[in-house]
Structure 1
Amino acid sequence: MAGCGDLGTEAGLRFAAAGHRVVGWRRSPGKLPAAIEGVAADLSSSELPAVPTDTTAVVVAIAADSPTEDAYRSAYVDGLAHVLDAVLASGATVRRVLFVSSTAVYGDAGGGWIDERTTPEPGGFSGRIIREAEELLYRRLSGTGITPVVLRLGGIYGPGRTRLIDQVRGGTAVFPATSRFTNRIHRDDAAAAIVHLCTMDAVPGPVYIGVDNEPAELGDVLGFLAAELGLPQPASESADASGAASPSGGTSPSGGEPSRGGNKRASNALLRSTGFEFQYPSFREGYRAILAGVGVRHP
């Protein structure tokens, strides 16, 4: 597990529960559960630990330190390159390298459907740099006998990832003035998908979209959460004369970078065709579990 934060830790625990030896690389390995062998590693450095020779799968689950272009490049492109250097120099029996990517590589689809056959058209630097990392993975592993797998995840929510719940509770949530489809996946399902693609008998394809079964209008999700919490429905966003919503939801809180989500409906049909089943098939089951206190937030 190259990058063992919340998602990587959950996937690592699931690998361990299935009987695998799991080694987790992170800057602060002492925070990892005992089931994962923690090793100190800074993926931004070219000096990484040796990959154990009996390694059969490598999962690269990287997160940028800040929402800036430099931080994204350092994490996703440079970090992945350093991991691949270590893998290829190790002589380990690696069969698959799975890179955790994002549906941000698709940009905005105007509410239309996208799947693995859709040409990526990133709308901002985050999607563009993550797409560059995907291409690096395919290029570096070509001809090595190692299968590259890209898992493009939608918005991850779950224990400790409660932004929409917090907005509804805090009274800052706003219904969008125009249609806006969102795509998400519960952290536990994202971790289970990682394990599934790394261990399934059939050779996985080059790319899968990891989202739940139901792309949902943001307003529907906010309304559902308000009802579950017994709170008033959020106020509606106003629209100016040109039809544009105000305030705009198109930039990140840091400014500049367009929203990674865009307006699209992502299909998970290819992932489900491999036999993968979701514990939380829609936002309803997932958010109800969070509100009921189900699950653990990992360090």
Structure 2
Amino acid sequence: MHRYESILIAGAGDVGTRLARRLAAEGRRVHALRRSEASGGDGIVWRRGDLLRPDTLAGLPPVDALVFAATPDARDEAAYRAVFVDGLRHVIDALPTPPRRTVFVSSSAVYGEHDGAWIDEDTPPAPLGFNGRVLLEAERWLATRDVGGVSLRLAGLYGPGRTQLFDRLREGKAGVPRDRQVYANRIHVDDAAAALAMLLDVETPASVYLGVDDTPLPIDVLYDHLADLLGAPRPPEGPAPAGVGNKRLSNARLRELGFRCAWPDAREGYAALVRASSV
């Protein structure tokens, strides 16, 4: 593995901040870019800037590697395009020298409907919604640049602070299809950060990886398990999540690098969240 010593994380939200702390603990020079102020004292150089406003990105330092982990403020096509297409271009253009490695946080939303079949990085993308279309456009633009581009297509994130599903289950608002197997694909936020850290250092990476745990689960199995943990009623019959598609994501390519999830099964990860938060 090759080790890059100076890294800029553009979009230091939940996953980006977890990655920044992990890299700083390894003694690397980490610059974390976000729109809001952040306190120091953690070995991270916090920088304030807006990816949508190139003028605020002046003065970025030269770095070996870039991780683009931004998220849009709104769930509409204009907001996604502004962040993932324009914002990615703005930050790369603002750097004084091109990074030798760029890791782009993408999403499994680039895939379509597969009737519960296993899919991997070689499965042709067929986005069902604007989010997947925009992310795929950004991935393809990155691939045209000489910046060592790698895209990590993350499955659904869960972890500390991400407890909206608990509330929906308690309130009886989380229906599930029970007449057919519709799969949920998840990855814990700490595992997502660990995967990003690994992809920074792979000497000759592939252009795309899937970031997902080891255990795709039928959504009714997962939600019933969570309801039991919470002491909530099991969810009623309902439609599958819209615009997601039914598929099982394989992390075999990531595992070939030596990656192992700390939380290989979301049932275990969610159980730890319930214990820790006493919710």
TM-score by length of 1: 0.85
CA contact (8 A) 1:174 1:236 kept: yes
Q: Which residue of 2 aligns with 1:12?
A: 20
Report the more deviating stretch, 154-163 or 124-133.
Answer: 154-163
Identical amino acids, percent of aligned pairs: 45
- Aligned pairs for 1:110-259 (under 5 A) are 110-141=115-146, 146-177=147-178, 178-200=180-202, 202-237=203-238, 245=239, 249-250=241-242, 259=243
Alignment match of 1:262 (pick from 235, 239, 245): 245
RMSD value over aligned CA atoms?
Answer: 1.6
Q: Are 1:49 and 2:58 matched, yes or no?
A: yes
Aligned to 2:76: 68
Deviates more, 1:271-280 or 1:156-165: 156-165
- TM-superposition CA deviations, 1:167-187 (whole Å, max 9, x none): 112222212244211111000
Q: CA deviation at 1:31?
A: 5.0
- Structure 1, gaps ≥5 residues long: 238-244, 251-258, 295-299
Do the aligned partners of 2:115 and 2:247 also contact (CA within 8 Å) in 1?
Answer: yes
**3-state SS of the aligned residue for 1:51?**
coil
CA contact (8 A) 1:56 1:95 kept: yes
Report the TM-score, using the length of structure 2 for normalisation: 0.91
Q: Could you tell me whether the CA contact under 8 Å between 1:96 and 1:147 is conserved in 2?
A: yes
SS in 2 for 1:100: strand
Query: C-alpha separation between the residues in 2 aligned to 1:214 and 1:33?
Result: 37
Kindly tell me the number of residue pairs found equivalent between the two proteins: 267
Quick one: distance in 2 between partners of 1:283 and 1:60? Answer: 25
Say whether 1:287 aligns with 2:278.
no
- In structure 1, C-alpha distance between the alignment counterparts of 2:232 and 2:168, rounded to whole Å: 12
| Alignment partners' CA distance in 2, 1:10 and 1:234 | 32
- TM-superposition CA deviations, 1:13-33 (whole Å, max 9, x none): 001111111111111132566
Report the residue type matching 2:21 in the other structure: L
8 Å Cα contact 1:9/1:32 also seen in 2: no
User: What is residue 90 of structure 2 aligned with on the other side?
Assistant: 82
Map residues 97-108 of structure 1 onto 2, 5 A cutoff.
97-108=102-113
The 1:32/1:121 distance shift into structure 2, 3 A limit, reads farther
How big is each residue's C-alpha offset from its partner over 1:140-191, in whole Å with a ceiling of 9 and x where there is no partner? 22xxxx3111000000111111232221122222122442111110000000
Q: How much has 1:74 moved relative to structure 2?
A: 0.5
Equivalent position amino acid for 2:38 in 1: G
Q: Residue 91 of structure 1 aligns with which residue?
A: 97
- 1:277 is aligned to 260
Q: Distance in 2 between matches of 1:212 and 1:280?
A: 7
Give secondary structure in 1 for the equivalent of 2:227.
helix
Counterpart Cα distance in 2 of 1:69 and 1:230: 38
Read off the aligned partner of 2:87 and give its amino acid letter: G
Q: 1:71 to 1:166 in 2, by over 3 A?
A: same
Does 1:35 find its partner at 2:37? no
Name which of structure 1's ranges 159-168 and 16-25 shifts more when overlaid on structure 2. 159-168
User: Structure 1: which amino acid aligns with 2:189?
Assistant: R
Deviations 1:203-240 (A, max 9, x none): 21111000000111110110100111223222223xxx
